[in-house]
Structure formats: C-alpha cells, structure tokens
Amino acid sequence: MTMKRRKILHYLLAGFLLLACLTLAACSTPNSSTVLRKAEKTKISNFQLQVDDRYYDKSGRPVAFYGTIRCQKQPFVLWTDLTQTGDQHVKMWVASRYAYVSLYKDQHQAWYKAKASQYTSASQFQKIVNDLNLLTLSAKSRGLFQVARHGKTGYVLTYSGKSKSLWRDINKSGGLATVSGDENVNGSKLTKINMQIYVNRQYQLTGFKIVAKYKTAGKSGQAKVTMSDVNSSKKLAIPKAVLENSVDVTQANK
C-alpha cells in the first residue's frame, strides 16, 4: 500500500470516528440538572391545570375537590371550573377588573358580575397564577430525576419516591397548596410522590404531572395536578353570552 493510499484511509477513518462521536453526542440523553435549570427559565404565557384532590376535613369527613383552571397572562384572563364535595360547583371568569361567577346549587345556574376585589384583588389572582407556573427546584431535587426521550419532540423527566426536598420545593410559595382544596397540605407528611416534567428539544417546559400521597393528622390524602397546553396558541376570552347575561352585583357590599 502506497503512502498516499494509507493517508487517504487514515483521513477516512478519522472522519468516520468523528462522525460517530458527533452522532453519539446528538443522541445522548441530557443531564436532568441541565434540563431543569433551562426549564425554569421558560416564559409561560398561558396554560391549563387539572386538579383532583381527595382528603379529609377537620371533622374527619372525606372531601373531593377537582376541576380545571386555565390562565392567560396578557391580557390577564383566568377561567376556573371547580367542584367540591357537598354540591358545590363554581365556574368563574376573571379579567383585570371584574369576576364573572356561575354558582350551581341543586342543578340551577346563574352568572353574576362582581368586582374582582370582592373576591380578592386582581394582583392577588395574578400572584396565585405566578406561583402555579413557577418551576423552581433545588439542586438536590433536580438530581433526583431520570431523563428519557418523549416522542420525537422532547424529553420527559420522571421521579418516584419520598424525597422531602422535592416535597418542600413543590409546596413553597404556595405551590401545590395554591390549587389544593386541603388547606393543611403544606404541613402534611409525604408518603409518596410521582412526578413527570415534560420539555421540548430546547428544554422549554411543556407540562408536568404530580401525584402526591400524604398524611395529615393521621388521615391519608392525595393530590393530583397536571399542567398542559403550555404556551398554546389558543387565546382565552370571556364568552359574549357570559358578558351579556350576567347579573350585575358590582354595587353590592359597598
């Protein structure tokens, strides 16, 4: 074999090795800490939450609290459809100044227009929303997750266990308690948590799911929260029928 041919083969082999290394690097699974640090910086403009809580009240009676929350940050619009044990079913639209509330009782429905401040301030609604979509985990919690491909568009990070640090992280700043019907969830003892976090190829958050089992005063509770439709293109707006057919009670309780 001539020197020239050996050089050509040498360069070809080097090229194949380089290509193989690049291919392996492209296909390798990213580190969970790296993914979550970037996911925390996702700028969320809108999202949907599904909540489903089962717990016991202070009297020891079982309670179910479940429903849907949708939110859009600009312009601010919040939609809730929530049900709690005891024939309590409330639908509500909240914009910058007004809240439109539909109360169900004995299968009867009526819409009422009230100032948002009659329930809480608009800024407080927005703070609650910000608490819901802040994904901020400690370095210890970030390292708990396993990373895997999720379809062709991203990754899923999963954890199942009893991590106290993760439990603290998802409850801080209101956290899980913000959407849980159980006011004692923050002071409860974790028994198990399953969590999946979904991101796209750029590690931007696309959703998550939390199923947490806990105990409060010896009673078992379970909270399920699923975030989806993050930054979907569909815009939220209060329906015209609600705007035109609500009973105006903005002058009440002055």
The amino acid occupying position 155 is: Y
- Map out the domains of the chain with their CATH numbers: 32-248 (2.50.20)
Rounded-to-integer distance, Cα 224 and Cα 199, Å: 19
Residue 178's pLDDT is 57
**How wide is the angle at C-alpha 199 spanned by C-alphas 42 and 206, nearest 5°?**
65
Residue 11's pLDDT is 44
Burial, 11: exposed, middle or buried (Cβ in 10 Å; 0-12, 13-18, 19+)? exposed
| DSSP for 169-194, written as a single string | HHHGGGHHHHH-S-TTGGG-EEEEEE
- pTM exceeds 0.85 for this model: no
Rounded-to-integer distance, Cα 221 and Cα 190, Å: 10
The amino acid occupying position 63 is: V
pLDDT tens digit at each of 254 positions of the chain: 444 444 444 444 444 444 444 433 345 678 899 988 888 888 888 888 888 988 887 788 888 888 898 888 888 888 988 888 876 788 889 887 888 988 765 666 788 888 876 655 455 555 655 655 556 788 898 999 999 988 888 999 999 999 988 888 877 755 555 556 566 666 778 899 999 999 999 999 898 898 989 888 788 889 888 889 988 878 899 999 998 888 888 876 55
